[in-house]
Copies of this chain bind each other. A is one copy, B any other.
Amino acid sequence: MRRSVIGGAKRSSLFLLNQAHRSLLSPSPPPLHHHLGSSPSSSATALLLLLRRLSSSSASSPPPPNMSNPVTVQSINPKVLQCEYAVRGEIVNLAQRLQEELKANPGSLPFDEILYCNIGNPQSLGQLPITFFREVLALCDHPTILDKAETQGLFSADSIERAWQILDQIPGRATGAYSHSQGIKGLRDTIAAGIEARDGFPANPNDIFLTDGASPAVHMMMQLLISSEKDGILCPIPQYPLYSASIALHGGSLIPYYLDEETGWGLEVSELKKQLEEARSKGISVRALVVINPGNPTGQVLAEENQRDIVEFCKKEGLVLLADEVYQENIYVPEKKFHSFKKVARSMGYGDNDLCLVSFQSVSKGYHGECGKRGGYMEITGFSPEVREQIYKVASVNLCSNISGQILASLVMSPPKVGDESYESYSAEKDGILESLARRAKTLEDAFNSLEGITCNKAEGAMYLFPRIRLPEKAIKAAEAAKTAPDLFYCRHLLNATGVVVVPGSGFGQVRTCFKMLS
């Protein structure tokens, strides 16, 4: 039913990308597409700078209250202005306008559909959900059909059994009730058992906080750790912009550490140390280190030895280790394997009192890609009871995460097992998706490396490629003339020419793109 989403544009989009890329590398870059040239919001960056200037000037002499318009960009929280979120920024806004134009005037653009490769959103590009997971969710949503005869014909036996098990874990079987602030205890038991099975070390259900995807969990930790701009968080560059956005919204300082493209986006502890010391010399109290493994947007998978060094570094320097492990199922090279940071720390002999560690997991990624369900959790270890009480309080203010997302998080950590009726179909669906992702990663990597001026590292994991594009001087000049960063200029041109939505590489002269568009 949903297969039509990818449609016939797949092959041609690689062709269009190729063409558009070549045209931009040509000696006389084309003028900005008319859709943007005339748009008042053609340069989000410039607008933001303007807003910031307005904002800071207002701080020194507050304007009189404007009765007819009490809220202006000058009067809102400057942290909101400072926050940027490129994966849903200007390029996506342009894409939405183009989509409306395509709808209003079919055939008016050089492409027939928009391919959103700006974010890991597999089901929007035609990936089907895992049947077993959806069966269980449907039965938990409408449990009155559980004991009807027709249900046996429509649903697998183990999905019916699993739905009963889950309902029995929910007080009153009420899937429409707020749960415990950390999530339903029985589901946390299941998740803890899944973590134990994965790592070979114990996991405590009371350490688990179920959340609406990983984003709210990241915000919760930033809210806890950041009091002012004097609190710093070490973040990889390139990074998933949730981190920079969340740090900005909470008023902290992002302390960048640079992944080394030459060594396949390697993470060097010497670089961490250098940046930590530089930040400390400026009076910044560095509170935590964010590590994204497998990497987003860079796709690298850390070696266990490297992870040990990182654990040692956090332990020695008194940093909270914030481990973004949402791509733990997305590894495409046989020589690499996912190791959770908790497993690595425990195998080094570090217990609960030795290291403050938070592991983020999400139902949005992996082979399941259930982004719209907004399920996820964080496992927190090493925090004192008093601090945990504060984390619990913040979780309580939002009452609980959505129950379907909670159920799905438990399913992801406890999928069908050998012998279950659904095991075979589940395995076939899972393997098909992971093989397809691996194949597309390779296809796109090869395509990028075959284009003039583009180099691209191997995608070991996650869902993205982060190619490096060397633009000729003339293209950079044209971007300057258009008051646009060169990478934004390139992404905009690519979108206008092909309908492919990618994300500019935050001023690194690189373009991030997602490879899920090609099969």
Contacts and interface: CB of A to CB of B under 8 A. Distances in A.
Interface of A: 1-2, 4-5, 41, 51, 62, 65-73, 75-81, 83-85, 88-89, 96, 119, 121-126, 129, 131, 134-135, 137-139, 141-145, 148, 150-151, 153-155, 171-181, 212-213, 215-216, 219, 223-227, 242, 245-246, 249-250, 285, 287, 315-320, 353-354, 356, 364, 369-374, 383-384, 386-387, 389-390, 393-394, 396-405
A319 B72 CA distance: 12
Contacts of A180: 96
Contacts of A129: 175-176
B76 A372 contact: no
A443 B364 CA distance: 46
Contacts of A386: 51, 72-73
A338 to B, nearest CB: 23
Contacts of A122: 177
Contacts of A175: 123, 129, 372
A216 B153 CA distance: 40
Contact of A356 (B70, B250, B397, B400): B70
B81 A390 contact: yes
Counting chain B CB atoms within 10 Å of each CB, which of A80, A121, A383, A401 scores highest? Answer: A80
10 contacts: A1-B144, A65-B318, A66-B318, A69-B356, A72-B384, A77-B227, A88-B399, A124-B177, A373-B404, A374-B400
A172 B97 CA distance: 18
B354 A68 contact: yes
Most buried by B among A62, A96, A224, A354: A224
A65 B318 CA distance: 7
A73 B393 CA distance: 13
Given A139-B138, A141-B141, A373-B403, A246 B397 contact: yes
Given A123-B176, A178-B372, A179-B372, A131 B144 contact: yes
A65 B170 CA distance: 42
B387 A374 contact: no
A223 B224 CA distance: 16
A396 B245 CA distance: 10
Nearest to A288: B70
Contacts of A153: 148, 150
Nearest to A401: B374
Contact of A71 (B67, B123, B383): B383
B177 A399 contact: no
A171 B85 contact: no
A394 B80 contact: yes
A67 B2 CA distance: 52
A148 to B, nearest CB: 6
A85 B142 contact: no
Given A72-B386, A404-B404, 17 more contacts: A5-B172, A73-B384, A77-B250, A80-B223, A84-B393, A85-B396, A88-B181, A88-B393, A125-B172, A131-B144, A138-B145, A141-B404, A148-B153, A150-B151, A176-B371, A212-B374, A402-B404
A425 to B, nearest CB: 12
Contacts of A124: 171-172, 174, 177-178
Given A73-B390, A123-B176, A402 B372 contact: yes
B139 A399 contact: no
Contacts of A67: 315-318
A225 B89 CA distance: 22
A227 B171 CA distance: 41
A223 B77 contact: yes
Contacts of A2: 172-174
A171 B41 CA distance: 26
B285 A65 contact: yes
Contacts of A121: 177-178
A172 B353 CA distance: 48
Contacts of A225: 71, 76-77
Given A83-B393, A154-B145, A398-B216, A369 B78 contact: no
B176 A76 contact: no
Contact of A393 (B85, B148, B390): B85
B85 A372 contact: no
Residue from the set A4, A137, A145, A399 with the largest chain B CB neighbour count within 10 Å:
A399
A140 B232 CA distance: 43
Contacts of A181: 88
Nearest to A69: B384
A83 B397 contact: yes
A179 B244 CA distance: 22
